[in-house]
Structure formats: structure tokens, C-alpha cells
A and B are shown apart, each in its own frame.
Chain A
């Protein structure tokens, strides 16, 4: 099925254009430009090279009218508490894309660290966000353009130069109905250090279209855990953009568990020499889930290092998609880029499509990629069975070992334990 201009128009009509008298002029302009950009790019179809494995047609059949403000009132703290990682630190909660101060806990921040709602920043320091809207056309990312046009609120995290905040800042985006457009902006000043955990969850059928930006100044370090555990009847699209200056480090762990159709895009640019990015991802599909990961790492300057390490475990009738690209621009010599994607198919009806790509314009580089797809190793299964494990336990153990490698390298024990328990719970219900 292909989307036509009429489909795009009808889709867009569900979201009334946002323009407010209180908002800065540039924002109203940017929203309009972004909305026009979405309209002109159109809804992606499988005939678009970047979307050939992900068909979003079912999204068009869902009613996405904005959630009523009252929908948030029913959500109680007790329901949300188990969704957070069991670590100390500030917590922000957004219900259907709107900030919920009564459910959030933002206290005791060290000097030089700001954790605020975007709406507050827009009101008090309207100039601060302008830079993050300079590129709102979001060519190649129609849904990111839609987010820029329609977002209502979001999280703003800023660390001054040399500010170090060891506690992870947790941001929970919880959705219940309609469409929500959460937005997170993380700005780390020179030599600053920040850790953020972004959690996407919800109940029922809805559409969550998220956008996250990380800006890391010289020698800054940002760690982000992106945990997508949406309702399995929901649609999720997300774009994570990272922009890195000289010698900065960004590490991202991405876990994709939920959503009927869920796609996350990474757009990582190493704009300063010696920058480093580490992307690790795990996608675990079951039922009829469709989980898509789309990555572009762009080395624009010399001596950059990038790692992409993604693993997929697809069970039942689920479908996994991985598309990763490394671009090494002319002059980005001494780049060291590696890309690895491994997939495990647990059922006869599971499908995986993988497309690891290299696009290289410099000669003195070390670039490699690898991709595999297969089932559990018969000999390893036999070995475990010969040690007395049941077929079911042997399968579970090997699957867990395969998936565990992605989260196993996380240093923070409680965060690692939290992620591992999410993985274990998912895999245990099946085998």
C-alpha cells in the first residue's frame, strides 16, 4: 500500500497547527516551516529507499486526535513507579507529551545543572532553543519535522562547562491516547558530564513521535539509555540527533521492546576532531511486532571513533529491521568506524532485514562492518542439554547470552540490572 498526497493531507489534518501568541515569533515560523516540510516530504512509503522495510500504512487507520488534557488526571504515581530504573536522581514525567509536575521530582540539582520543561525555557529564555530549530526542515526525517511542528512540551537539560552530574536524569514519556510529540534537548558544555535515561511507555493504542537532541561541546561526555517499552498496540517513531564537538564522547544504549510498529532513527554527527560515539542497541520482537532501527554516523572530522553494535532477537511473527550507515567525509582521515549487526531468528515466521552500509571518501581509515542472521547454534544447545538442561532452559540461556552482550558492558550496576531484568522478563515469557 502506498501513501498518496491525499493520505498525507488527511493525516496532517488530524493535528491542528500550533501557533500561540505567547510563543516567540521564530518558533511559530519554525513550526510552520516544519509542517510544510512534512507535507512536502509526504508520508513515507515502502517505495522510499529509507523506508522500504517498514510499512506505516496501519498508522493511517488509527485515529490520532490530540489527547484531552483530562486524560492525564487518571494516571497515578503507583502505575509509573515500576517503569523507572531503580536509581536515585531527578525524574521528569510527561503524559501524552505534556509535562506533569505532580508526578515529577526535580530537586537537589548540583550547581551548573538545569533540568526544566521546554515550555518554561521557551517562556523565560526564548532565545535558548532557537539554535535547535534552525534545521527544522528535517529532510529525510518527515516524522521529525512533524514533531517540530506539533510538540507541546519536553525536557530541557543543560550542563554548564565542567559541570558533572553522576546521577542519571530520568525522563518518562507516558502515553494513553491519540498522538503525542515528546521532545528532549540535552546540552552539555565543555568538559561537562551527564547521564540521561529516557523511557517511553504507555497503555492502549496511540502514536508517540519523539525527538531527542544531544549537543556535546568540547571534551563533554553524555550517556543516554533510551528504553522503548511502549504498549504493543502503539506506534512509535523517534529520532535521536547527536552533534559532537572536538574530543567529546557520547554513549547510547537503545532497547526496543514495545510498539506494534516502532522505528528509531539515529543521526550522529562527529563535527569535531577526535570525537567518539558508541551506539549499542537491542531489539526484541514477538507477536506481530515490527521493530526498525535506522542509524547514520557521519564522520566529518579526522580521528573520530564510532561503534555500532546492534543485536536483534525476533520471535513468533515479528520482523526486525536494521539499517546502519557510516559516512566518512573527505578529509576525515584516521577515522576508526566499526559496525556490527547480529540477528537471531527464533521462529519460522520471524523475519529480519539488515542493511549495514559504508560510504567512505577518505583513504587512511579503518572501517569495517559485519552482519549475520541465523538461529541458535545446534551444538551449543546439545552441549547444554548434555549437562542436564531442558530444551526450553537451554534455549532461554543461549538467547539471553546473545542479547545480554549488548547491555552487559554498562558500568552502572543498578542500571545494568534494570536493563537485564527487562530483557530477561521478555525472553522468559516466550521460551
Chain B
């Protein structure tokens, strides 16, 4: 069969977002010590309490050792070789787009951000006018508010004014620390404390920016909120911190997208995302992760070690959807703590590994409240020499009467050199709880390919269609624009892969 040559073609697919943006950056020297932590805090004009939080994190981090139970193994990371702060040079207000650093604009264009949005992101004055007219009209596609984070620092946030009318706060974390200290103080670290794990402690010490989002009581956020992350400068790590708070009865849908340039070294991305859903609130968090995966020999690429966790109060719902196609190593478990009675947690994931990519991802559903429900749908696709692990925990506390979990984890193997693993942990301490886990591992069925071929599809299209069908349960959870992007991304990654 042509499978082998096609698989080879797949492995030779280039990384589309591997460009480097040559932008003047303002960075601190490599390495980590208390002075660097103070320097980062100082550069961001942070209040004293924030600096103390960072130092507490840093001092705790010093006492910790990196975990080693994960499936993907990697050489030890030299934490003194990383640049912990790198920001594009301080922003100026521009009169028109012509004055903006053309490199920055070119980056936005490659990323597919519209001209209007580009103006706003680059800080052009006129940008504000179009922002006003862009508020969503009935029957019009809702706009997406974007917060773009380069290396470590948020470069711009759009639609702030429109959102403000409804009392919604959507800004960079640095701005939030300055402008809304009471909210940040109350919630930062409440879901992922600085003692949580090695990488969360590191993040707590050196995080440089991220997004902050606050939806007041009873407000339904009128548009998708989106953050765009990009690691740009060489030798930097990206340590962003995202905090989303939805007050009672509020609703928000949040999207996150990521890319990085091609580099030979491994770049570390250790973010922390915290979600707080108060009574009856809903937070939908979607990720399309396409960090640079390294070359086909496994050189370079991003280490994506992220802690994501949401806290559900009574009747609240948190839904994580992720499409993980990038990174040399993806290692994360977006989780839900179902503390309030009747709260709901969901996790939908598609992970695709190829070349020498490795992924160890899944979720944790912690059922504490009564009648809490969780659903886990995980689809893994492994090609080339890719290796992936679904690792998930469903924990039912004694008091979680009536708790219900359903997990389904399927793996698809394309080729005989890849690996797929499933490691679910089910811990139940309540007899009234019902927990079910199912998993299967298979290759693409020859019959399915044959059927589609007999209908005139090329082998490549047939596989693409089967993979898309395999992932359908997850992709349909994504907001429309993201679903299209994710499908394209998978198609691109699969190009030529026929098993």
C-alpha cells in the first residue's frame, strides 16, 4: 500500500507558524533568583502585596523537585538558562498603521487577524472608533474580543469599551493587578495555590502577564473572549497566568490559541489557568494549541506544561475543550473541582501527535458536592513516532451522593511506530455514585477507507474524513470559528497520512 510513503509525507509537513518576529524586546538577563522576581514585579509596577505573593511562590518552588511520574521523559530543564521576562519595547500611540513596526503587523497578518483588529492590537488611535461601531448587532456575527500575549506580555486587548458597558472586565493580568486589585487578591491562587505543583509554583513566582476576565452577576458575555499566545524571543519561557471569574448566573465563552516560532532549543511554557464559576455560572474554555512541535527528529519544540483548573460552586458548569496538535511535549490536565451540589464538569479533548511529539494529557474530575456530573470525551490520534497518553482521574468523595461520571477515551493509531496509552484513575468513596469508563484503541478500518474510496474520494480525503468523524464529538463543542480552524489544523497535520 501507499501508506508508508504517505505517512512519510505526513511527517515532512512543515510547521506553518514557525516564523520569528524580529521585534525589539525588553528582556531581563537569563536565570532565576529573588532579584529577578523583584525585577519582574518592578518592571510591571506591581503593588507590594503582589511582590510578596511572588516571593512566597518562589521560596516554595525552591523546596520542590520536578515531578517524574509522567510518561514523556525529557532531559532536565536548566531553570537558570531561561529568560523569565521578555516584552516588546514599551508601546507608543501611533497615528496610523504606517508608523507601526511592520514586523508586528506582519505577524498579525500571518496569524490571520483582521486589519481593524490589527490596528487595535498595535495601539493605533483610530482603532477605538471602529471598536464602537463594531458592537454586535442582532443578526450579525458576534465579534471576538482578543487579548494578544507575546512572549510574556499582553500587547493589546480589544473591545474593552464594549464589554465595559455590561460591567465585564477583560484585560491583561498586569492591568488587572493595578486596576482591580481587590478582585485579583480574592481569586488569584484560590483554585491553583502556589503550593500546588512544581510548575505552578514557578509560574506563581515569575508569571509576567496573561488575561483577566470578570463577568458580573447575571451577565451573559455577548461575545467570545479570546487570548492569543505566542512565544517569540529566543531562550524565553512563557509563563502566563489567566484568571476567569464568573459571578452568580453569569456566562462566558473563552478561547485560547497558541503558536511559537521554530527554534532548536526547547522552550518552556508553564502557564496557570484558574476558573471560578460561582453559583449557576457557566464557563466554557476552549483551546487550540499549536505550539511549535520540534522538527521531525524531535529537535526543539515547546514543552507545554500547564496547570488548568476550575472551581464550580452550586449548579455551576465548567466545560474544557481542547485541540492539542502542537508542542514537543504536551503535559496538562484541565480539571474541574465540582464543589457545589449539582455542578457539572466537562472535558472534550482531541490530541494529535506525530513525528516525535509526546502528549500526556487528560483531566481530573473531583466530585465533592451532591449530584455532581462529569463527562470526559478524549480522542487521541498518533502518527509517525508520536506517543500519547490519556491520563485522567475521577475522584468521588464520600459526600458526593448521586454523582455521575462517564468517560470515553478512544485512540487511533496511524502506523506501527506510534504509541497510544490510557491511564484512568477512578477513586470512588460513595456507593451512590456511578462511574463508567470505556476505552478502545484501533487503527483506521480498511473497510471504511475502501467505502469512501469507492465513492470517489482520494485516500487522503478519506482518512481526513474518518479522522474528523472520529473527533466529531469534541469538535462540535468548539465555537464555530474555532471548530473550522481546528478541523483545518487536523487536516493539515494529517496531510498524506493514510493508515
Binding site for B on A (CB under 8 A): 49, 53, 330-331, 333, 343, 345-375
Contacting pair A357 B419 (CB below 8 A)? no
Interface of B is mostly: strand
Q: Which of B279-287, B310-318, B340-348, B440-448 contacts A (4 or more CB under 8 A)?
A: B440-448
A361 to B420 alpha-carbon distance, docked (Å): 7
Closest to B422 in A: A358
Q: How far is the CB of B384 from chain A (nearest CB, A)?
A: 12
Contacting pair B421 A360 (CB below 8 A)? yes
> Which chain B positions have C-beta within 8 A of A356?
422, 424, 437, 439
Contacting pair A372 B435 (CB below 8 A)? yes
| Most-contacted residue by chain B among A53, A347, A359, A364 (CB, 10 A) | A359
> Which chain B positions have C-beta within 8 A of A365?
441-443
> Which chain A positions have C-beta within 8 A of B414?
363
Contacting pair B416 A368 (CB below 8 A)? no
Contacting pair A369 B417 (CB below 8 A)? no
**28 chain-A/chain-B pairs, Cβ below 8 angstroms:** A330-B417, A333-B416, A345-B430, A348-B398, A348-B430, A351-B427, A352-B426, A353-B426, A354-B424, A356-B422, A356-B424, A356-B437, A357-B422, A358-B441, A360-B413, A360-B420, A362-B416, A363-B443, A363-B499, A365-B442, A365-B443, A367-B440, A368-B441, A370-B437, A370-B438, A370-B439, A371-B436, A372-B436
Q: How far is the CB of A140 from chain B (nearest CB, A)?
A: 14
> Which chain B positions have C-beta within 8 A of A353?
425-428
B: interface residue count bin: 35 or more
Q: Given contacts A359-B421, A360-B413, A372-B436, are A367 and B429 in contact (CB under 8 A)?
A: no
Q: How far is the CB of A342 from chain B (nearest CB, A)?
A: 10
> Which chain B positions have C-beta within 8 A of A359?
419, 421
Q: Given contacts A343-B428, A351-B427, A358-B421, are A363 and B415 in contact (CB under 8 A)?
A: yes
Closest to A344 in B: B431
A345 to B396 alpha-carbon distance, docked (Å): 12
Contacting pair B442 A345 (CB below 8 A)? no
Contacting pair A49 B69 (CB below 8 A)? yes
Question: Is B418 engaged at the interface, CB distance under 8 Å to the other chain?
Answer: yes
Contacting pair B428 A345 (CB below 8 A)? yes
Contacting pair B411 A360 (CB below 8 A)? yes
A362 to B441 alpha-carbon distance, docked (Å): 10
Among residues 387 to 423 in chain B, which have CB atoms less than 8 Å away from a CB atom of chain A? 396, 398, 411, 413-423
Closest to B401 in A: A348
Contacting pair A368 B427 (CB below 8 A)? no
A101 to B427 alpha-carbon distance, docked (Å): 45
Contacting pair B426 A369 (CB below 8 A)? no
Contacting pair B443 A364 (CB below 8 A)? yes
> Which chain A positions have C-beta within 8 A of B9?
none
| Most-contacted residue by chain B among A49, A358, A361, A368 (CB, 10 A) | A358
One of B415, B420, B433 near A373 (C-beta < 8 A): B433
Question: Is B432 engaged at the interface, CB distance under 8 Å to the other chain?
Answer: yes
A353-B425, A357-B422, A363-B499 known, 15 other contacts, Cβ within 8 Å: A330-B416, A345-B430, A349-B398, A350-B431, A353-B426, A354-B425, A356-B437, A358-B411, A363-B414, A365-B441, A367-B441, A371-B435, A372-B434, A372-B436, A373-B435
> Which chain A positions have C-beta within 8 A of B499?
363
Task: Give the 9 A-B residue pairs with the shortest CB-CB distance, closest first.
Answer: A345-B431, A363-B413, A375-B431, A373-B428, A358-B422, A363-B443, A351-B429, A374-B434, A373-B435
Contacting pair B431 A348 (CB below 8 A)? yes
> Which chain B positions have C-beta within 8 A of A346?
431
Q: How far is the CB of B443 from chain A (nearest CB, A)?
A: 4
Among residues 427 to 473 in chain B, which have CB atoms less than 8 Å away from a CB atom of chain A? 427-443
A364 to B427 alpha-carbon distance, docked (Å): 32
> Which chain A positions have C-beta within 8 A of B424?
354-357, 371
> Which chain B positions have C-beta within 8 A of A351?
427-429
Closest to B412 in A: A363
> Which chain B positions have C-beta within 8 A of A370?
436-439
A70 to B471 alpha-carbon distance, docked (Å): 67
Q: How far is the CB of B367 from chain A (nearest CB, A)?
A: 12
A362 to B432 alpha-carbon distance, docked (Å): 39
Contacting pair B430 A371 (CB below 8 A)? no
A364 to B414 alpha-carbon distance, docked (Å): 10
A151 to B393 alpha-carbon distance, docked (Å): 39
Contacting pair A374 B416 (CB below 8 A)? no
Q: Given contacts A369-B422, A371-B426, are A363 and B437 in contact (CB under 8 A)?
A: no
Q: How far is the CB of A336 from chain B (nearest CB, A)?
A: 12
Q: Given contacts A345-B430, A348-B430, A373-B426, are A361 and B435 in contact (CB under 8 A)?
A: no
Closest to A358 in B: B422
Closest to A331 in B: B416
Q: How far is the CB of A217 from chain B (nearest CB, A)?
A: 29
> Which chain A positions have C-beta within 8 A of B419?
359-361
A386 to B431 alpha-carbon distance, docked (Å): 23
